[in-house]
Amino acid sequence: MTNFISLADVADIDALIQSGRDAKANPFADQHLGHNKTIGLIFFNSSLRTRLSTQKAAQNLGLNVMVMNVGQDSWGLEMEDGTIMNGDKAEHVKEAAAVMGRYCNILGIRAFAGLQDRDKDYSEQVMNQFKKYAAVPIINLESATRHPLQSLADCITIEEFKPVPRPKVVLTWLPHFKPLPQAVANSFCEWMNQRDVDFVVTHPEGYDLAPEFVGNARVTHNQDEAFDGADFIYGKNWSSYIRYGKVLTQDSSWMVTGEKMKLTNNGKFMHCLPVRRNVKVSDEVLDSPQSIVIEQAANREWSAQAVLKAILNNL
């Protein structure tokens, strides 16, 4: 593997999932791979799981790790080419990425969608600028449109918990008062479309995801119908793609409750976290044995380790 920016960078999903499960069973088997090599984890946005799990995975592989919060620990970075830099950004990504690429053998980048300009967000400007100028492999730690390390951890988790060979997996929109990016939902759709699952997406009208991500999923605006017989409920809020970045409704009837989980096939509840309790999902669900959000978050370490191993093997 050269980069891990989207699913398109993965040659064999099953092998990558298995590699994550192998890492979980034997975390230090490949400690030699990262010896005398360095990864830089560069954050334009906050993180708990991505930051800690990727750092831990890198350390399991013997890598040195450097972490930087752009704009707090460093200069603000200008992304536009040809601009007159007389604003608040003191350094251009051309120099910054090139310099980081000299210090690091691999760079992980987190840069969320701005949710102001859909074309700009969906062009993945930050990820592509780093790919262009860093001259080292790039790992997506959540970009404007995708969160593939999360999706890989989700796939590992579904493999571990699926009660039947071809489970019913439901992605449901959840209510939230703030506009959130579509990245996790997009990415989950992208990966589920490549898995042997009965995949359903449910959301209120106006919350359609981009067609290239929805793929062959069945889409319904009836959440109860979607939940019927489901083996996995994957909750996530996202802002509108059509009326880009807007919150069209905060309809609390879309919150996942114990009553709704009764419609499922004793289904498991998943969420990438962080999650606002009793806004998106009730305490009753999160505190029940049906919730596997902690196991899911723990699998972020193994998804990161599988990806890092594949990249290190190719360095």
The annotated binding site for N(2)-succinyl-L-ornithine is made up of: 142, 176, 236, 276
Q: Using CB under 6 A as the criterion, what x/- string covers residues 252-281 for binding ligand CP?
A: --------------------xxx-------
Please tell me the count of residues contacting ligand CP according to CB under 6 A.
9
| Cβ proximity to ligand CP, 184 vs 217, nearer residue | 184
Amino acid at 294: I
- Three-state secondary-structure class, residue 179: coil
Our CB check for ligand CP shows the closer of 50 and 239 to be 50
- Helix, strand or coil, per DSSP, at residue 11: coil
Q: Is 157 in the site for ligand CP (CB under 6 A)?
A: no
Shortest distance in whole angstroms from residue 53 CB to ligand CP: 8
Q: How many CA atoms lie within 13 A of 302 on its CB side?
A: 25
Minimum distance from residue 164 beta carbon to ligand CP (Å): 27
Query: Please, what is the Cα angle at 197 between 191 and 198, to 5 degrees?
Result: 115
Q: Give the nearest distance from C-beta 51 to ligand CP in angstroms.
A: 6
Alpha helices in the chain (DSSP H): 13-25, 49-60, 93-103, 118-122, 125-134, 148-161, 183-192, 211-214, 223-227, 258-261, 283-286, 293-312
Residue type present at position 195: R
What residues form the annotated binding site? 47-50, 75, 110, 142, 147-150, 176, 236, 272-273, 276, 300
Both tokens of 102, joined, read 């000299």
Q: 150 or 291: whose CB is closer to ligand CP?
A: 150
Chain position whose Cβ is nearest to ligand CP: 50
- Chain contacts with ligand CP (rule: CB under 6 A): 47-50, 142, 150, 272-274
